[in-house]
Amino acid sequence: MLYAVKFSEEAARVRDGLPADRKSLLERGLAVLAQDPEPKMSIPISGDESTRSLALTPNIAIEYVVGEGLLLVLVVHVVDFTHVLLEE
């Protein structure tokens, strides 16, 4: 079953502000996730396990809810390792 992907307003703002290359990675990751929204590497973050967290790429992670045929992206986290507080 292919799940429909929708975004919260906050997640859509982050998505829309991404550079084209990162936006493409996000879209590719979500296309794969829409086929199986509960892969083993995703982490349930709610008691009923419908709200989950997953790193789509090393730099992009999402929090999302899975419902009846719907995958709702709540939050998009983007980490830019070129700007860090402490260098190793």
Residues 37-54 have pLDDT tens digits of 999 999 999 999 899 999
- Does residue 88 carry a pLDDT above 80? no
pLDDT at 17: 96
pLDDT at 82: 81
Domain ranges of the chain: 4-78
Q: Take residue 61 and report the two structure tokens written for it.
A: 């992670």
CATH 3.40.50.150 for domain 4-78:
no
pLDDT at 84: 82
Element (H, E) at 40: none
Kindly report the pTM of this predicted structure. Answer: 0.89
Residue with the two structure tokens 């967290």: 53
Alpha-carbon span 82 to 80, nearest angstrom: 5
